[in-house]
Amino acid sequence: MKYSTLISKKISKEPVIIGRERYLNSAVLIPIVNLNGIEYLLFQKRSQKVRQPGEVSFPGGHYENRRDNNFLSTALRETCEELGIEKKKIRILGKLGTFFGPMGVIVEAFIGKLNISSLKQLNIDKKEVDRIFVLPIDFFMQANPLEFFTRVELHPSTVNDNGDKLELLPVKDLGLPERYALPWTNGKHRVLVYKNSEEIIWGITAELVYELINKLKSTNNE
């Protein structure tokens, strides 16, 4: 067998994320609404009954291979469920990109315009969403987010509830360099924060907003 021939058949010509199946794969929709001639980004505050309660996010959720044909299907399905909007009232404008979080979360982000004239036309799922709110895109075009950094470390061992040390990576037995027997840093992780009149927007949601705004600014400068 010629492995080079097999590789040419099996290896994708498009960029892929290696080991994607080991991570939490999700998709979100960044909703844009036009209210009285002004374009806004729509956000939701998560209910107290779901993961990461009380945090601000865009509508979205986990990719489910039995229900979703692709990541766009995930974003649309979750948006329709959480915001109570019909799929036909969402116009996809494009894909913002793929965000890879330091805690093993991959987020596929899409942008869509909601064909509504009032937020009262949305029937949010109170089991998942506490409230929704909007902020003008112009606000983000003018506001600079606060920037902080957290430290990310990898630990080759841990201690269980009984106080026993558990080797996660047997550095000595494997003959790896001794320095990996102690926690080592994976560098700094940036955390963006947008302060505003509604809710604090931070973390992945802030990163997606920041990316979108940078793209809009670069387009304006062309």
State the CATH number of the domain containing residue 88: 3.90.79.10
201 within a domain of the structure (yes/no): no
Name the percent of the chain lying above pLDDT 70. 98
Domain annotation covers residue 211: no
- Please, is 191 exposed, middle or buried when counting C-beta atoms within 10 Å of its C-beta (0-12, 13-18, 19+)? middle
Q: Cβ distance 192 to 210 under 8 Å?
A: yes
Assigned domain for 147 exists? no
- pLDDT reading at 51 higher than 80: no
- In the predicted model, what is the mean pLDDT of residues 154-163? 90
pLDDT for the residue 15? 76
Backbone φ and ψ for 193, nearest 5 degrees, come out as -135, 125
221 pLDDT above the threshold of 70: no
Can you tell me the mean pLDDT for 62-68?
92
**110 Cα distance to chain centroid:** 10
User: Which of helix, strand or coil describes residue 22?
Assistant: helix
Give me the chain's average pLDDT, please: 91
Q: How many domains would you assign to the chain? A: 1
Backbone angles phi, psi at 5, to 5 degrees: -70, -40
Structural domain span for residue 134? 21-140
pLDDT at site 220: 62
Within a domain: 104:
yes
Quick check: is 45 in a domain? yes
Residue 218 lies in a domain: no
Residue 91 lies in a domain: yes
Q: Is residue 217 part of a domain?
A: no
By three-state DSSP, how is residue 179 classified? helix
pLDDT of residue 1: 60
pLDDT number for residue 7? 78
- Output the pTM of the full model: 0.90
pLDDT of amino acid 222: 59
